[in-house]
Amino acid sequence: MTTKNDKGYREIAQQVDAVGDTIWDMASHVWAFAELGFEEVKSSAYESAVLKKHGFTISDQGIGGIDTSWIATFGSGDPVIGILVEFDALPDLGNEAVPTKTPRKDGISNGHGCGHNLIGSGAIGAALALGTHMRKEGISGTLKVFGCPAEELLSGKNYMAKAGAFKGLDACLHWHPAPVNTLWNLNSTAASDFWFEWHGTSAHAGATPWEGRSALQAAQLFLHGVDMMREHILPTSRMHYIIPDGGSAVNVVPDYAKVVFRYRGHNADDVLKNVEWVKDIAKGAALATKTRVVSTNLDAAYDTLPNQALADAMMVHLHRLGPCEWTDEEQSFAKKIQKEVGKPEDGLATEILPDPKGVAIGASSDVGDVSYNTPTMGAIISAWPLHIPPHHWGCTACHGMSIGQKGVLKAAHVLAATGLDLFTNAELRFAAKAEFDERSGGKPYQSLCEGDAPIGGHHPEYHDGHDQIVVAVSQMKMAEK
């Protein structure tokens, strides 16, 4: 359902190609910076400076309580269309842009194993092209680009949404690199993350254990209670946990224990209801062991709403533009990675897979909060080898060379063309909004995050489900073949 606007598509494509060098310059710099969530100071500043140079106004810096977040605006009036930017890297995935596991020569151990250096630059490239085209053709409307930090920590867009960043949008677009080409037309789970910390009394575990109160036993009792809870929640729900701290000496009654916990449910209501149950179990464990528990909400995210109207429009452009055309050298690069890790040497994707059409998956993403504020859709573009999971050194390598360069340029073309549809096709906007209202039930958005800002810092104990979403789509589509 797109505007019959071949001339407009040709011109917007020319505008994307005109900023192709700028797109890759951003991607390369952010790849080199490789900054972790909440620490993307140089990456955030570099990309926002490019937008400012091209006539965008940077506003709302620090929205959602995160210093590296911002909103860049071009134009005025209706419609109002958004594009999402991400730029955080991952720890221990630094790699030279070579098809072997090779640490970076500069000693930086972080790496863009999920391709956020491409996500940000591709989204901004589309925005630059749209801004130029809108100015040239006199197209009215407002384009907003959202600098979204810490996606890997599930602590970016959800807090920005709570601060009202995405209110008033008519639609929002995003994309993610992957081993395949398709759409992010998925129904992911809602999720909430917590620290549960028990405080007890230490004592000699052999001589006077009766003087102690074990925080570790409280944590164990809590986890037993959680496991007993599993039978009585929906099969689609998931609960995960680790114990990063349970004491330091076997002959000392632990006076402190910590559990990092995530609950996933099929929607926000399920998460809100069952998180309260989990908190009660934590309190009960403290009462039973005469310890004290403190719960801290780290983040919470909505499930992602599909939108078939937007998916249909974006899929037209995905097919019209076609998959990336890889050289023999690029295919060889990909196959060397596959060989090194024992995967089938099938190289890079050369076809477009079918629209997932709203399939439910078990992973989570903070894009979910955006999708409950406005109709939202994303593209998935091949930028690393088939069979290679995200959060892998092989992805980092690809995202720093021509494979990533081709993927990011393709994504910019798809987003720019879909964005042009949204600015010029009122029927598409109406259909997307009608579907959004039906799927969301007309309920106003209310954040699941308990605080107004994330607790800050990099927390390696937990990360998002973005990688799992990409894996789920890849496996599902490969299975269909």
DSSP state, residue 257: E
- Please report, as a single letter, which amino acid is at residue 253: V
Give the pLDDT score at 481: 46
- Exposed/middle/buried for residue 54 (C-beta within 10 Å: 0-12, 13-18, 19+): middle
Question: The dihedral of CA 157, 161, 163, 166: what is its sign?
Answer: positive
Give the pLDDT score at 5: 82
Closest CA relative to residue 370, chosen from 443, 469, 303, 270: 303
Backbone angles phi, psi at 74, to 5 degrees: -135, 135
Tokens 């990336």 -> residue:
324
Backbone angles phi, psi at 79, to 5 degrees: -75, 170
Neighbour-count burial for 202-217, b at 16+ CB within 10 Å, e otherwise: bbebeeeeeebbbbbb
Q: How do the domains of the chain map onto residue ranges?
A: 6-188+303-480, 190-299
Long-range contacts formed by 317-320: CB under 8 A, 24+ apart: 317/2, 317/9, 317/413, 317/414, 317/417, 317/418, 318/181, 318/182, 318/183, 318/352, 318/379, 318/414, 319/352, 320/9, 320/417
Beta bridge partners of 143: 74, 81
Cα–Cα distance list, 31 to 209, 396, 397, 405, 463 (Å): 53, 8, 10, 12, 20
Task: Find all residues with CB under 8 Å of 261, minimum gap 6, and list them.
Answer: 193, 194, 195, 196, 226, 239, 240, 241, 278
Tell me if 449 sits within 8 A of 300, measured CB to CB: yes
**Distance (Å, rounded) from C-alpha 428 to C-alpha 314?**
11
- Exposed/middle/buried for residue 241 (C-beta within 10 Å: 0-12, 13-18, 19+): middle
Tokens matching residue 109: 């151990």
3-state secondary structure of 218: helix
Residues of the chain below pLDDT 70: 1-4, 456-481
**Distance (Å, rounded) from C-alpha 109 to C-alpha 303?**
32
Output the 3-class SS for 288-320. HHCCEEEEEEEEEECCCCCCHHHHHHHHHHHHH
Fold of 190-299: Alpha-Beta Plaits (3.30.70)
Q: Which CATH class is domain 6-188+303-480?
A: alpha beta
Give the pLDDT score at 467: 53
* Secondary structure (DSSP) of 363-424: ---THHHHHTTS-EEEEEEE-S-TTPPSSSHHHHHHTTSHHHHHHHHHHHHHHHHHHHHHHH
- Please report, as a single letter, which amino acid is at residue 247: G
Question: Which element (helix H / strand E) includes 246?
Answer: none
Rounded CA Rg of the chain: 23
**Distance (Å, rounded) from C-alpha 340 to C-alpha 394?**
10
Question: The dihedral of CA 392, 393, 398, 404: what is its sign?
Answer: positive
Q: What is the pTM of this model?
A: 0.93
